[in-house]
Amino acid sequence: MSKAISFVRGFRIPKPEDIEDALGADASFSNEFKSTFGSLTSPTHESDWLANYKETGQTYADFLEDCPFLEDGHPLQKYIYLTLLDDDDRLSILDINRLIDYTQRFFQMEVKLIPLFTNINWNQSKRSWTCTTKGRNDMARETKLRTRYDAVSEHSQIYVESILTLLKRSVPTDARCLVAITMHDFYSDESDLFIAGLAQGNARVAAFSFFRYDPRLKFGSEFWYDWKVKTMKPSSISQIILLRSCRLLTHEIGHLLGIDHCIYYNCLMNGSGHLEEDFSQPLFLCPVDLRKLMKLSNSDCIQRYEQLLEFCTANQFELEIETLRKRLEILKKDQSKKKKNMSSTENEPPRKVKRMKKASV
């Protein structure tokens, strides 16, 4: 019998009243809507996030106080920028246009793709990747990217901080964030097997690799360069990597927009300690984090869900389709009830006010 995995010492599981406090007493979500979201899951593996990290959670009120993109409680009009650290061959497995489309629907914000990296080449003599970048002054420069390389497998990884350094020179003034995405493998410390990406929120930049999200690849647990390729149908590969990439990109952009890890529900913003935990997490935000995003984007919740349902239907995300339909049905029913109640109140005859006699002194 396998040993039960405990939460990390000191972590406190939120009580129902804690969750309500995190959401805020003035939230408009009905109990029926909130009941469609799963509870926070317990660790099942010693590497799971909450088996190792003591999270305190971020309430809606905390978010309003700390978010850098709200001014006097109103969202600032800024854009999400993406850029590609790749050549066409490596990106053929990832449909960048669909990923941009999903990101716009998810955040209800405009996403702009800008070309910062060109001439991405492998220098065999130096065993490193090089690229040409363009900064704010439009001056192009060739840069050698810090790389580690294994001669036997011929696998390489790029040091993620070297990408962040280049991004910080190029952040547009109207950016909420600038994110580089790639199919190149990343690392941060020499002890890393890999790192999916890294963000520097104060600098509004991040870089993320989808290399380990390719379902054809099976990775070893001991060496960073140990991996094998499985045979799969091209259609399945495309669908799975799109789903996984949508999850990773929206989670990390959520952090760049000021949303911390979630401890209140089973949520897109839960932390993950390894790929299996990452792949098992939901694609959508819980009520607490959804309320933060709706404030930040100043958008309509029903319209947003309808746009996400359209995308998931077109890309055959079956589990997500069912979830979105159920939540949309509840939201529309709640909206109809609210309109009916407002209409009834408006049609009520004016009440007569009984005047009190002035008291004599």
List the structure tokens of 161: 């901080």
Label residue 104 by pLDDT band (50, 70, 90): very high
User: CA 84 to CA 119: how far, in whole Å?
Assistant: 12
Q: Residue 265 CA to chain centroid, in angstroms?
A: 15
Residue 191 lies in a domain: yes
The residue among 265, 277, 279 whose CA lies nearest residue 47 is 277
Residues 6+ apart with CB under 8 A from 11: 50, 54, 55, 263
Q: How many domains does the chain have?
A: 1
pLDDT exceeds 60 at position 347: no
Residue 138: its pLDDT value, please?
64
The residue among 128, 242, 259 whose CA lies nearest residue 184 is 128
Instruction: Report whether 302 contacts 323 (CB < 8 A).
Output: no
Domain boundaries, position 198: 73-257
The model's pLDDT over 280-289, given as tens digits with 9 standing for 90+, comes to 999 999 999 9
User: CA 243 to CA 301: how far, in whole Å?
Assistant: 22
Residue 359: its pLDDT value, please?
41
User: CA 5 to CA 264: how far, in whole Å?
Assistant: 19
List the structure tokens of 89: 């061959």
pLDDT exceeds 50 at position 360: no
Q: For position 144, which CATH number holds?
A: 3.40.390.10
3-class SS of residue 3: coil
The residue among 294, 280, 284 whose CA lies nearest residue 327 is 284
pLDDT exceeds 70 at position 344: no
The residue among 33, 14, 4 whose CA lies nearest residue 287 is 33
Average of per-residue pLDDT across 322-332 = 97
List the structure tokens of 309: 């349902």
Residue 240 lies in a domain: yes
Residue 350 lies in a domain: no
β-sheet bridge partners, residue 130:
121, 144
Residue 345: its pLDDT value, please?
57
Q: Can you say whether the dihedral through the CA atoms of 202, 294, 315, 100 is positive or negative?
A: negative
Residues 6+ apart with CB under 8 A from 173: none
Burial (CB count <10 Å: 0-12, 13-18, 19+), residue 136: exposed
pLDDT exceeds 90 at position 137: no
Residue 342 lies in a domain: no
* Number of Cα atoms under 13 Å in the Cβ half of residue 96: 19
The model's pLDDT over 220-242, given as tens digits with 9 standing for 90+, comes to 888 998 988 888 887 788 899 99
Residues 6+ apart with CB under 8 A from 176: 69, 78, 79, 80, 109, 204, 256, 257
Average pLDDT, the chain: 89
Residue 163 lies in a domain: yes
Burial (CB count <10 Å: 0-12, 13-18, 19+), residue 211: buried
Residue 242 lies in a domain: yes
The residue among 241, 302, 228 whose CA lies nearest residue 33 is 302
Label residue 93 by pLDDT band (50, 70, 90): confident
Residue 292 lies in a domain: no
Percentage of the residues of the chain whose pLDDT score is greater than 70: 91
Residue 118 lies in a domain: yes
Size of the chain, expressed as the number of residues it contains? 361
The model's pLDDT over 251-280, given as tens digits with 9 standing for 90+, comes to 999 999 999 999 999 999 999 999 999 999
